[in-house]
Chains A and B, each alone.
Chain A
């Protein structure tokens, strides 16, 4: 996930300062990991360094002093390029659950019990997300981001179910290899 491009995207609607950008990011992507203010600040500085954004001005409005940023023409072009670029479909399979199952088999642990516990945790999270998206007055952004997560968790669950059913074969394979 490219924080640079998301911040550039938020700047596209007009100049904005760091705190404002963080707030708008967390609003727009409700189920994403919230942006840390420090991360916003360093990313903005890198954008300025690369010539994709520039300082628009400084204002205090009676409070602490804030620096507003705006996107440059080059930044706008870069954003355009990124937005249409296809995201690479799963370039590396990093599967923590699978790694745990294999390690558990190697060390003689109970992989089946682990999968059950993981399944329960996944279901719990899915219930939570479902409650969130079906709460009265939930906006479409919330519903869609919850749906995205639900579909991924569902895929994990299916994978866990088939893996649990084939644990015996997997154990033999891992132990003899």
Chain B
């Protein structure tokens, strides 16, 4: 087996772009986190964004997911310019079309695992019983079994992150934005969480933007984009 073969085999044919960012710039006070970053997230692909700490990875994710507005540049999703949408519409978009996973903190500590996963469905107007039933199915799909009624603090880190993935995917989003989703986990839990994410995303055709500093996590992606000093190094986009 030669090295070039399977790297292109998984996602050789380029799918149409789902999300396009052009010339993003964003400063936090005096530090410029992004200076003209451009990239494409294709439908159904897993794209890793790597780079040293402070290279602007998280800020890029926040801009792409419509969590913050860039100072300059554009983010286009389904013909919409995200930086021009009002906050209410952005919030709705994040709820329905996107899912987010952070290192931790996205699960509400007072809610049980199943209620946490059911929350996006409740917000979309699904009845509580049905929302809980569907949330239960998603938890099972992520291998969180028999822990539905536990609160995040009572679960192991890996289990909690899998519940967080279930919450991000339960509405059937087009894209999931994951910011160091395994940052607080050991290698075995990392493997479990990443396998679950990769499998489910491929099964459901969900695109994943995966921000990580860990090469072994980035290896779950189909493609990698490296950030340096707030921009994508042109040499370092690998497919």
Q: Which residues of A are in contact with B by a Cβ distance under 8 Å? A: 113, 116, 119-132, 134, 150-151, 153-154, 157-158, 161
Interface contact B216-A124, CB-CB below 8 Å? no
Q: Report the minimum CB–CB distance from B235 to chain A (whole Å).
A: 5
Interface contact B219-A123, CB-CB below 8 Å? yes
Contact of A154 among B3, B216, B222 (CB under 8 A): B216
Of chain A, the residue at the smallest CB distance from B52 is: A161
Interface contact A128-B3, CB-CB below 8 Å? yes
Bound-state CA distance A7–B221 (Å) is 38
Q: Which secondary structure characterizes the binding site on chain A?
A: helix
Bound-state CA distance A94–B110 (Å) is 54
Q: Report the minimum CB–CB distance from B186 to chain A (whole Å).
A: 13
Interface contact A150-B219, CB-CB below 8 Å? yes
Interface contact A127-B235, CB-CB below 8 Å? no
Q: Which residues of A contact B219 (CB under 8 A)?
A: 123, 126-127, 129-130, 150
Interface contact A123-B224, CB-CB below 8 Å? yes
Q: Which secondary structure characterizes the binding site on chain B?
A: helix
Interface contact B215-A157, CB-CB below 8 Å? yes
| Most chain B C-beta atoms within 10 Å of own C-beta, residue among A113, A116, A124 | A124
Stretch at the interface among B4-12, B139-147, B204-212: B4-12
Contact of B6 among A120, A128, A134, A153 (CB under 8 A): A128
Q: With contacts A130-B220, A134-B195, A150-B219 known, is A124 near B3, CB below 8 A? A: yes
Question: Please, could you name 25 A-B residue pairs with CB atoms under 8 Å apart, sorted by A?
Answer: A113-B235, A116-B236, A119-B236, A120-B238, A122-B215, A123-B215, A123-B219, A123-B238, A126-B216, A126-B218, A127-B7, A127-B219, A127-B220, A128-B3, A128-B5, A129-B219, A130-B216, A130-B219, A131-B6, A134-B195, A134-B198, A134-B199, A151-B216, A153-B215, A154-B215
A-B pairs with the 3 shortest C-beta distances?
A126-B219, A130-B219, A124-B7
List B1-23 residues whose CB lies under 8 Å from chain A: 3-7, 10
Q: How many A-B residue pairs have CB under 8 A?
A: 53
Q: Which residues of B contact A119 (CB under 8 A)?
A: 236
Q: Which residues of B contact A113 (CB under 8 A)?
A: 235
Contact of B216 among A120, A125, A132, A150 (CB under 8 A): A150
Q: Report the minimum CB–CB distance from B219 to chain A (whole Å).
A: 4
Bound-state CA distance A129–B5 (Å) is 12
Bound-state CA distance A116–B233 (Å) is 11
Q: Report the minimum CB–CB distance from B91 to chain A (whole Å).
A: 34
Q: Which residues of B contact A124 (CB under 8 A)?
A: 3-4, 7, 238
Q: Which residues of B contact A126 (CB under 8 A)?
A: 215-216, 218-219
Q: Which residues of A contact B195 (CB under 8 A)?
A: 134
Contact of A134 among B3, B220, B222 (CB under 8 A): B220
Bound-state CA distance A152–B25 (Å) is 36
| Most chain A C-beta atoms within 10 Å of own C-beta, residue among B6, B52, B215 | B215
Bound-state CA distance A128–B2 (Å) is 10
Contact with A along B211-233 (1 / 0, CB 8 A): 00001101111101000000000
Interface contact A121-B220, CB-CB below 8 Å? no
Contact of B221 among A127, A129, A158 (CB under 8 A): A127
Q: With contacts A120-B236, A150-B216, A157-B215 known, is A127 near B222, CB below 8 A? A: yes
Q: Report the minimum CB–CB distance from B49 to chain A (whole Å).
A: 13
Interface contact A125-B224, CB-CB below 8 Å? no
Bound-state CA distance A161–B215 (Å) is 11
